[in-house]
Every structure is written in structure tokens, then in C-alpha cells.
Chain A
């Protein structure tokens, strides 16, 4: 009797699990693919880390773990007599910082208006902003190159910053628009009922609520600027005093008869690790930011 009463609920749980997972191999398969995804994402990155810490003479060793560990590659990467890599990091920070600031300052108002206010021509503005974000960099590169040649702006900070607005501002506006559209706008309405002007409702109610969205958008914009290569490589015209890190890494050299792989990997790691840390810290927010724009599109 007792065994029967015990086995009955057990059977029902087994049935329930069977109903949820019809295949026994399903769970194992899922685990295997999950493992595969993680290996896929980390393996080449892992190889970069291994090589960044490996002695240059052992570049082509195939040992898959850390051997011939050295920090020489890093001191080499920052050696100002060979590469201006350190300077390029500062340039990337300056360019990325200004681009993010401008895109956010201008974009936050447009994003608010697109998400909250009814106005004529809204669809047209949205189409224009989305259209601008899809423009190929090369479409504006040639005319901008010509214009900046006549301004004398080639190889200057403003010459590198201004063109980046073309992709960072649309990115900021449409990410912010989808974030703002999801916020509890009854609160704004409540503030308006209490006598606040639309401007006050924005400043005092929506802005504090929107801070996380603003922060995530700023990260996305900064990443886009930090990773930009096409415009910067052409418009910096080889001037290392203003060229960002992507340009510096792409033209990384080590002098004659040296294959500078390990040194390049060290420089690449310096550029990448802060990004990876930021991304991992804020992964939940970043994913929501990326997919918010994508799913609603």
C-alpha cells in the first residue's frame, strides 16, 4: 500500500517532465549546443589572450595553454619609439567621449519627442533617422574627404568626430525612442495633471526614470565609436597624433624581419579588455538595448 501511494506522485512528476521534454536526448543536446556556443564565442578570444602573453619567438607553438609567459609584448606595444599605440588610446577616448556626449545631448530630446509626443511628420522623421543609420559610410566618405580637404580638417579631432555623428546620433535616437516608449508614462501624465508643463514633466519625472536607459544607450554609442575604423582610417590621413586605436592596431608594426603577432595581440587585448568588462557588467541592459531597437525596428 505505502509503496503504491509513494509511486503514484512520482509517476505523475515523471509524466509531467516527459510532457515538457519529449526527447530524453533533448536535454543533453541542449547542453552540448550551449557548450558549443560558449566555446565558439570564447575560443578565438582565448587564443588572443594566450598569444598576448607568449614570447614572440614561440608565436607558432600550438600548445593550447599559457607557455613561455612574458609581459614584453605589452611594454613593446606601448613603446613610443615604434608605435603610437598609447597615444591612440587617448585619442579613442577623446573621440568616443565627445561623440557620445553630442549624440546623447542631442538625441535624448529627439528620442523623447518620438516616443511621447504626437506631431505632424513623425513618421517622416523616424524614416529619415533610420535611413541615416543605414547609410554606408563610403557614401559620405568621399564628399566629406573633399570638404575637409578644403577646410583643412583632415587629421584633426573635429574632422574625426563630426562624421561619426552620422551613425552615432541615429543609434542614440532609435535606442532611446524604444526605451522611452516602454517607460510608465502615466507618471508623466500625473505630473501634467498636477500642473507641470511638458518640459517640467520631462525634467523632473521622466529624466530620473530614464537614467538607466540613458546610460545603456551611452555605452552602445561609445562602443560604436570606439570600434569605428573606415572613417577614421581615411580621415586621420596617417596622423598618429589624432588616429584612434583601431587605426593604430591595423597598422601595427614591429620593424623589419619580425612578425609582430604577439605584440599586436597584446595591443588588441588592451583595447578589448575594458570593453569586455563593461559589456559583461552591464550585459542585461545592453542586451535589452540591442534587442529593443531590433525587435520593434
Chain B
């Protein structure tokens, strides 16, 4: 009896602690939800603090005036007040405060007059570098996918440009692009790479393409490795040539990986700062939007800078959203085609 007692007790316990399976499942789920909330909360709170709050605060500040001459009274005022869209008009319409009161077109050379040029040059950098990187990166990836020997070596080599800090590569390219530097000597030319407009722009394109093409190749290669070799085999049996196999199998199937690579790179170039700033200081028509924001920050007119930050944020956000939708639509379209 004394032995049977605890055994009976434990049997009773198991009976009470194991409810019907459906109920148990439900119970675990609510527990899971609470646990998930606890696990995710620190990340969400921290991001709200370092990203969310500054952005909201920046939007608020962008509608406030900067300390300066009040256009209405003509006196200096250090208190900021609500000015509506004035700061946005300053950038988008190039309206600057005039000394005699009122506003007029920003004179050449001021930061206000550089907004649209900086937008265009940033878009120029984005389109040119991302296109070149994607095309060359695709070639690299296709070749690496075929190679069996030396794939490890190539993969290691590819990480070298990626790992070097951009600040260091920028300095390295300054040395290479020096008027007396190695590039001009190899080309037997005397190009003022970093101090004339188009050479400076292409110097930035070259340096950026060097650094990030291998990275794109790596992302595309990962996509290629997910494609079954059987597909190529059966296409070959059906008489598809190399070009047809590339356009009908490789491209559609590598598209998701390619889309992610292109979107990430586009966003990266749109906010490019280190490379053009260190390479050219933003001179000779190479001021990107990010450089303009920092220049405005250094001019201490911070609420005007907030407006520029907000504009930049909206532009990049819109482009990101547009690209995601565009690529999604295409991916879905390709799948629908394949299903037929």
C-alpha cells in the first residue's frame, strides 16, 4: 500500500496535467503569442527609439523656422516657430530668404540651388552603377557557377573588396586617380580624374562598381545554385540553345535573387555618401543628396536640413516601394506564365 500510494498519486497528476489535445494546443499557442511579444518587444522599442522617434521629430522640425532674420520684422530671431512648407519650398522650388525680406530664387553657389542638381546626379549614379554592376555581376556569377576548380578561391577573393571599409577604398582610389597616379600612367593620359566634372563622376562610378560588383555576383550565384540542373538537361534534350536556356530558365528563376540584389544596391547608391565625399568632396557636380544634407547640417540651419532629410527619406522610400512592387509583379507574372 505504501508503495502504491505515490504511484497512484502520480497517475492522478498526469491525468490532471494532460487535457484533451485540442485544448493543450490552444494553450501553447496563447503562451507562444505572449512569449513572442516579450522576445520581439525590445527590438521594436529600440528601433522606435533610434529610428522612429528621430524621423517623427525630424518631420516636426522641418515645419519650424531656423534662427535667423525674420522676413516679416527684419529682426534677428532665435526662437523657432511654425513656418509651414517654407523649408520644403526652399529645397523644391529653390526659394531663399532675401535680405530685404520676402523670398527669391536662391543665388548660384548656395546650398539651396544645389538640390535639383544633387537629385539628378544621385539618380545618374544609381542608374549607371547599378546597371553596370548587375550586368558584370551576372557574368561573374554565371562563370563562377560553371567553374568547379577555384570556386572557393574566387569566393574568398570576392569578399576582399566587400570587407574593406569604404573610407579606406576611397583613399585608395584617390591615390590611383591622382593626376600623377598609376591609372593616368597606365593609360598614358593626363586626366584630372577628381577635379573635373565628368571624369570625377566616372571615377566615383568606377570605384563603386569595383567594390560592389563582386557582392552582386555573390547574391546572384546563390540564386543560380538553387536552380535544378535537370531543367537545363531537359531543355538541352528539347533542343534549346545556350541563349534560350539563359533567357527561358536562368533569368526567370534567378529573378527573385536578382531583384533583392538590385533593390538593396539601388537603396545603397541613393544614400551614397562616403565614396563621393572622400573622393571629390562633392565638388564638380558630384554632390549627392546625402552630401547636401551634411553640408546643410554644417551650416547650422538644422530645421532646413530636417526638411531635406525628410525629402530624401520620402524619395528613397517611394523608390524602394515602387521597385518592390515592380519586381513582385514581374515575379508573379513569370510564375503565371510558367504555370500555363
Task: Tell whether, in the assembled complex, residue A291 and residue B39 are in contact, meaning their CB atoms are under 8 Å apart.
Answer: no
Stretch of B71-79, B96-104, B149-157 with 4 or more beta carbons under 8 angstroms from chain A: B149-157
B residues 13-35 near A (Cβ < 8 Å) are 29, 31-33, 35
A101, CB-defined interface residue at 8 Å: no
> A137 in the interface, Cβ–Cβ < 8 Å?
yes
**SS class, residues of chain A in contact with chain B:** helix
Say yes or no for A123: interface residue by CB 8 A criterion.
no
A279: min CB distance to chain B, Å: 4
Check B43 against A169 for contact (C-beta < 8 Å).
yes
Would you call A34 and B150 a contact (CB within 8 A)?
yes
Contact of B40 among A110, A144, A250 (CB under 8 A): A110
Determine if A71 is an interface residue (Cβ-Cβ < 8 Å).
no
A48 pairs with B172, CB closer than 8 A: yes
Across the A-B interface, how many residue pairs have beta carbons closer than 8 Å? 293
Q: Is B309 an interface residue (CB 8 A)?
A: yes
Contact with B along A15-54 (1 / 0, CB 8 A): 0000000100010011101100110111011011001000
Identify the stretch in A79-87, A207-215, A263-271 within 8 Å (CB) of chain B at 4 or more residues. Answer: A263-271
Give the bracket for the number of chain A residues in contact with chain B: 35 or more
Contact of B167 among A140, A173, A250 (CB under 8 A): A250
Whether B175 and A51, one on each chain, are in contact in the complex, defined by CB atoms closer than 8 angstroms, is yes
**Are A142 and B273 also in contact (CB < 8 A) when A136-B312, A280-B156 are?**
no
A271 and B165 contacting across the interface, CB-CB below 8 Å:
yes
Q: Pick the contact of A119 from B33, B180, B271 — CB < 8 Å?
A: B33
Prevailing SS type, chain B contact patch: helix
* A145 interface residue per 8 A CB criterion: yes
Of A142, A146, A261, A272, most B-chain CB atoms within 10 Å:
A142
A258: chain B residues within 8 A (beta carbon): none
Q: Quick check: is B8 within 8 A (CB to CB) of the other chain?
A: no
Task: Report B-chain residues with C-beta under 8 Å of the C-beta of A198.
Answer: 31-32, 35
Q: Which of A201-236 contact B (CB under 8 A)?
A: 223, 226-227, 229-230, 233-234
Chain B 266-278: CB-based contact to A (< 8 A → 1; otherwise 0): 0100110110011
Determine whether the beta carbon of A227 is less than 8 Å from that of B166. yes
Q: List the B side residues contacting A226 at CB < 8 Å.
A: 165
Q: Judge whether B185 is part of the interface by a CB distance below 8 angstroms.
A: yes
Which residue of B171, B178, B221 contacts A250 across the interface (Cβ within 8 Å)?
Answer: B171
* Closest chain B CB from A76 CB (angstroms): 15
Contact partner of B171 among A129, A139, A265, A284, CB < 8 A? A265
Which one of B106-114, B124-132, B139-147 contacts A?
A: B139-147
Are B140 and A142 neighbours in the complex by a CB distance under 8 Å? no
Let me know if A107 is at the binding interface, CB within 8 A: yes
Task: Tell me the minimal C-beta distance from B297 to chain A in angstroms.
Answer: 6
Provide the bound-state CA to CA distance between A272 and B290, in Å: 25
Q: A40-B214, A264-B171, A290-B218 are in contact. Are A45 and B294 (CB under 8 A)?
A: no
Interfacial chain A residues near B223, Cβ < 8 Å: 295
Contacts of A117 in B (CB 8 A): 32-33, 35-36, 39
Cβ A138 vs Cβ B271 within 8 A: yes
A287 contacts B167, C-beta separation under 8 Å:
no
A156 within 8 A of B: no
B34 to chain A, nearest CB (A): 9
Query: Does A62 count as interface, using CB distance less than 8 angstroms?
Result: yes
* Smallest CB gap from B172: residue in A: A48
Task: Collect the chain B residues with CB atoms within 8 Å of residue A187's CB.
Answer: none
**Contact between chains at B182 and A34 (CB < 8 Å):** no
Given A37-B140, A141-B293: 16 more A-B contacts, CB < 8 Å: A37-B154, A47-B182, A60-B181, A109-B42, A112-B39, A117-B36, A118-B33, A119-B40, A125-B40, A138-B309, A138-B312, A139-B316, A145-B305, A279-B160, A283-B156, A294-B257
- What are 10 contact pairs spanning A and B, CB under 8 A? A34-B154, A41-B214, A110-B42, A110-B44, A134-B320, A135-B55, A135-B313, A146-B57, A252-B171, A265-B175
Q: Which residues of B contact A (CB under 8 A)?
A: 29, 31-33, 35-40, 42-44, 46-47, 50-51, 54-55, 57-58, 61, 139-140, 143-144, 146-147, 150, 152-176, 178, 180-182, 185-186, 210, 213-215, 217-219, 221-223, 226, 242, 256-257, 259-261, 264, 267, 270-271, 273-274, 277-278, 289-290, 293-294, 297, 302, 305-306, 308-310, 312-313, 316, 320
Query: 3 closest pairs, A vs B, by CB?
Result: A143-B58, A291-B222, A119-B36
